[in-house]
Structure 1
Amino acid sequence: MFESFIHFYDEFTKSKIDDVAEFIILEEIHTTEKTKKEILDRVDTIYNTMKKSLENALSEKTILPIEEAIGQSDKLTSEPFFLDKNMKEAVYWTMSIAEYNSGMGVIVACPTAGSSGVFPAVLFKAEEKLKKSKEDSLKALIVGGIVGAIIGNKATLSGSEGGCQAEVGVASAMSAAAITYLAGGSLNQIFEAISLCLINLMGLVCDPVAGLVISPCIKRNTIGVMNAFLASELALSGVSSIIPVDEVVAAMNNVGKKLAYELKETGLGGIANTPTAREIRKRIFEE
């Protein structure tokens, strides 16, 4: 649909449409020949699935093959030390969903299963905080979706190709774009939020212990959440990333290509190659 963010910007500007989400919907109608209702129904299904995954994650006990990782999210129900209650709850939500995913629960890959806790936690907390309607959030979800699509077209969404920067990093960028839109931000501010997110997590490796999407993956979802809120706050306040968003995406892609294969989902490097991680792997697969 769009080759780059500058292409998106040019087409949006030419359209004379004020609302970014409405512009995306019209482009989707033109590209897919689906009706607006069909498109919104699909987005509604995604939203509802995200909501259900959060509800299930908070109410069900998730069993994981790495015993030390079981129930970690429950520790976040305590009173905050430094974060305010909203932010700590968002972190609790994302860890819960990430655990639920690792336990084979039904989630929305956004953009991937390993980063699936980020977007719903950010979106639902922003919806609650800003007192927005479900309809508003559906449009924010559409904005986040196009961000993932463009990055996927220009770079990668796979940890095995680009490291965790391509998974949690992109999930964070999609989330920041969505809530920047939800808060009334301009397209330029949305772009700044994306850039800031990707820059902050650029170079993040993918090093799952025992090759399982559990540790450090679940807790990396939490930094994706905090990064999204921070990047959106910076962008809405007028802070610039300095580097244009398309150039940031290209840089991220280049960094991903230069990462050693041990640091791209093989479970052979980084945290996955520590003595404790090797013992965990042995315990799971050899005993």
Structure 2
Amino acid sequence: MDFRSGEELLKLCEEERCTIGEVMLRRETRISGTGRDVLLSAMERSYSVMKDAVKKALDSPAPSMGGLIGGEAAKMRARRESGRPVCGTLMSKAAGYAMGVTEVNASMGLIVAAPTAGSSGVIPGAFMAVQEEFSLSDSAMVMALFNAAAVGYLIMRNATVSGAQGGCQAEVGSASAMAASALAELMGAEPAACLSAASSALANLLGLICDPIAGLVEAPCQKRNALGASNAMICAEMALSGITEIVPFDEMVDTMNQVGQRIPVELRETALGGIAASPTGCRLCATLKKSS
């Protein structure tokens, strides 16, 4: 069992009469020859690492290696608990948790690169916020991760998740698409609606450049992870509301790939353009080099 496109994936879901997450789990079982329980256990471990990263950022904030970020997740929590968050509790949690994971990554802590270290906060941020809001089980979240894995697999197979190749749209954009599809499935959406959510998530971040200050995965990466988590939740909600993305998932993936190839090299993780080349970005880069 395998699939090379979203169209083939949906066909398998129809033939097997199951969700995207279940199809992905069956695919991995048959291709790897690994037992279902072993794969579920491995994915459960991945989700545990994601949750631990969020907890670490909240309970033991630490400065990043470059010193550009650190403590933002705790600040988001403090604001959420002491006032009325503008974006509501659920969205505030998702954004704050996503930022927290990027803090852990930038301080050399343990994270899950899903699909990359630079976009590692998107899925855990959105997942944990939704899990807490609706009191969902870890087993449900694990199956949602298999859905996200299917979307990530297709993007990697047919495009890229590399910021150096496709800009931040390929990193945070892909992570957001993975999370959007998974959240839609988690809340009861049919497979076609899940891929519609993924397509919308990619569309909303199409053209996003990769311009890390001083070449570090800290700023503006952290806030873009918060954006990716928020975008995923919005796209999942639209799909669950019956709002269909006009451009099919496979076409959107191809479009993202073409756009990425046209992004100038200065705007693809080289730290030679965008925010990294701003006066402040250059000043920070020079300061970091002197202190290293």
TM range (shorter): over 0.9
Cα offset, 1:65, TM superposition: 4.3
1:165 maps onto 2:173 in alignment: no
CA contact (8 A) 1:145 1:174 kept: yes
- Greater mean alpha carbon deviation, residues 189-198 or residues 119-128: 119-128
CA–CA distance in structure 2, aligned partners of residues 68 and 191 of structure 1: 36
Structure 2 residue identity aligned to 1:129 = E
Alignment of 1:86-165 (within 5 A): 86-165=90-169
Cα offset, 1:68, TM superposition: 4.8
Provide structure 2 residue ranges, at least 5 long, that are not aligned to the other structure.
Answer: none
1:226 maps onto 2:227 in alignment: no
Percent identity over the alignment is 37
CA–CA distance in structure 1, aligned partners of residues 265 and 274 of structure 2: 11
CA–CA distance in structure 2, aligned partners of residues 28 and 143 of structure 1: 12
1:64 maps onto 2:64 in alignment: yes
Which deviations, in whole Å up to 9, do the C-alpha atoms of 1:12-45 show, x marking residues without a partner? 2222x23332222222222111111111111111
1:19 maps onto 2:23 in alignment: no
Which deviations, in whole Å up to 9, do the C-alpha atoms of 1:30-65 show, x marking residues without a partner? 211111111111111111111111111211221224
Provide the aligned length of Structure 1 versus Structure 2: 286
Over aligned residue pairs, what C-alpha RMSD do you find? 1.3
Structure 2 residue identity aligned to 1:2 = F
Cα offset, 1:182, TM superposition: 0.5
Scaled by the length of structure 1, the TM-score of the pair is 0.96
Structure 2 counterpart of 1:28: 28
Structure 1 counterpart of 2:185: 181
Structure 1 counterpart of 2:269: 265
CA contact (8 A) 1:80 1:88 kept: no
Q: Which runs of 4+ in 1 moved over 6 A?
A: none
CA–CA distance in structure 2, aligned partners of residues 37 and 192 of structure 1: 30
CA–CA distance in structure 1, aligned partners of residues 64 and 238 of structure 2: 37
Corresponding residue SS for 2:26: helix
Structure 2 residue identity aligned to 1:124 = M
Q: 1:112 to 1:195 in 2, by over 3 A?
A: same
CA–CA distance in structure 2, aligned partners of residues 212 and 269 of structure 1: 14
Provide structure 1 residue ranges, at least 5 long, that are not aligned to the other structure.
Answer: none
CA–CA distance in structure 2, aligned partners of residues 67 and 32 of structure 1: 41
Q: 1:30 to 1:230 in 2, by over 3 A?
A: same
- Greater mean alpha carbon deviation, residues 131-140 or residues 244-253: 131-140
